[in-house]
Amino acid sequence: MAYDEELADRLREHLAPVKRITEREMFGGISFMIGGNLCCGVLGADLIVRIDPTLHHDALTRPNVSEFSMGGRTSKGMIRVSPAGVADEGELALWLRLGIAHATAFPPRKAGAKKSAPTEKKKAPAKKKAAPAKKKAAPPKKKAAAKKATKKTAAPGKKKKAAPVKKKKAPVKKARAAVKKRAGRARK
């Protein structure tokens, strides 16, 4: 969709003294940004102005003004002024003052910064505490060293002998008591 070049030139004249003004093609027309914030634009033959949302209802009561809608959605603070509403330079200046006031109310944006779409607020999932890391027990070094030594010293093809099983000894007290009993029987 082409936009009204004459209206765009009128906007350029009014916005010339404003610092940090840039032009950008968007919405099928041209828009004027101040410090990266949308001020106004031209869409077809209409003037599009971004104003303070608290003034939105009052602006709609003026003649030749309607809500700006894009893709079936309207945005509070965005208005569309028909060509009859900006035929007079005083009317055009009024709308531009409102657009400039709103755009300069925000801090300047960095070059190339894009506004992200608002996301629904969701509850953050509860974070699970990570299980403490289990430490691996180091293998006993003495046994491992002994096994390595026997492997190296053993001749290939020979079987290893099993280590002798040690017998459990009876506790010392019981053994002494048994010895005393035997000794006592022997004396009688």
**65-116 pLDDT tens trace:** 999 998 899 989 999 999 999 999 999 999 999 999 999 999 988 765 555 5
pLDDT, average across residues 124-147: 59
Residue 101 neighbours by CB under 8 Å, 6+ apart:
52
Is the pLDDT confidence value at 171 over 80? no
- The domains of the chain are located at 5-104
pLDDT band at residue 162 under the 50/70/90 scheme: low
- Going 64 to 70 to 75 to 77, the CA torsion angle's sign is negative
**What's residue 109's pLDDT?**
86
CB 91 within 8 A of CB 74: no
pLDDT, average across residues 120-135: 60
**What's residue 64's pLDDT?**
95
DSSP letter at 121? -
Is the pLDDT confidence value at 131 over 80? no
Question: For the domain 5-104, what is the CATH code?
Answer: 3.30.1460.30
* Distance (Å, whole) CA 137 – CA 14: 79
Query: Of residues 32 and 165, which shows the higher confidence score?
Result: 32
Strand ranges in the chain using DSSP code E only, listed in sequence order: 21-26, 29-34, 37-43, 46-50, 65-70, 73-81
* Distance (Å, whole) CA 114 – CA 107: 14
Query: Which contiguous run of DSSP H or E holds residue 85?
Result: none
Is the pLDDT confidence value at 141 over 90? no
**What's residue 70's pLDDT?**
87
Is the pLDDT confidence value at 118 over 80? no
Query: Of residues 40 and 188, which shows the higher confidence score?
Result: 40
Percentages of the chain per state (helix, strand, coil), in multiples of 5: 35, 20, 45
**What's residue 26's pLDDT?**
85
**Predicted confidence (pLDDT) per residue in 19-70, tens digit:** 999 999 987 899 999 999 999 999 999 999 999 999 999 999 999 999 999 8
Q: Is 24 helix (H, G, I), strand (E, B) or coil?
A: strand
Query: Of residues 185 and 39, which shows the higher confidence score?
Result: 39
